[in-house]
Amino acid sequence: MANESVLIRCRSCGTRNRIPTARLPDGPRCGRCKNPFPPIPTPSRPVMVTDRTFADEVIANPLPVLLDCWAAWCAPCGAMAPVLEDLARTYAGRLKVAKLNVDQNPVTASRYSVMSLPTLLFFRDGKLVDTAAGALPRQEIERYLWRFLSR
Ligand SMILES: [Zn+2]
């Protein structure tokens, strides 16, 4: 992870800064306007998100977010859970992996029209940029991730 970096948009001037992932938790400064970024957590495990925390954890999050929409009764969701745990470790600092229980958080689920489970939602700078519905093997999720993280 030492040589990796990520593009973070400055909330003051809009400039995209390339920041080494190792420096994210320090709250680095924007190269253009010198405004400090808030310290950016780099979790290595999926973060549970609710209707109440969605705006903070996903919309306002400076890192790209992969949100797994799941339910306890959904067997394919359970099968995909270890893959998401693993991706959270592998992509720590470049990506935040989050999970939303759709039964307990219907507002967010309906806002993004989650019709089938599992559904993966990809957010960048607070906007939904890609969706993947249905259970997918790790290889297929990573294909989505490479495209997502390279824009
Ligand atoms: Zn700036």
Ligand 1 centroid to Cα of residue 62, in Å, is 13
Q: Cβ–Cβ contacts within 10 Å for residue 114, how many?
A: 22
Give the residue carrying structure tokens 């249905």.
134
**Token duo for residue 66:** 């992969």
Distance CA 149, CA 53 (A): 23
Q: Which residues sit with Cβ closer than 5 angstroms to ligand 1, an ion?
A: 10, 12-13, 15, 30, 32-33, 35
State the pTM of this model. Answer: 0.91
Q: What is the pLDDT along the chain (151 residues), one digit of tens a residue?
A: 446 888 899 989 999 999 998 899 888 999 999 999 888 889 999 999 999 999 999 999 989 999 999 999 999 999 999 999 999 999 999 999 999 999 999 999 999 999 999 999 999 999 999 999 999 999 999 999 999 998 7
Name residue, tokens 């991706």: 87
User: Is-contact 58 123, C-beta < 8 A?
Assistant: yes
Q: In whole angstroms, how far apart are CA 105 and each of 1, 75, 109, 138? A: 33, 19, 7, 26
C-alpha to C-alpha distances, 133 to 34, 64, 140, nearest whole angstrom:
40, 18, 12
What the chain holds in terms of domains, given with CATH numbers, is: 1-40 (2.30.30.380), 47-149 (3.40.30.10)
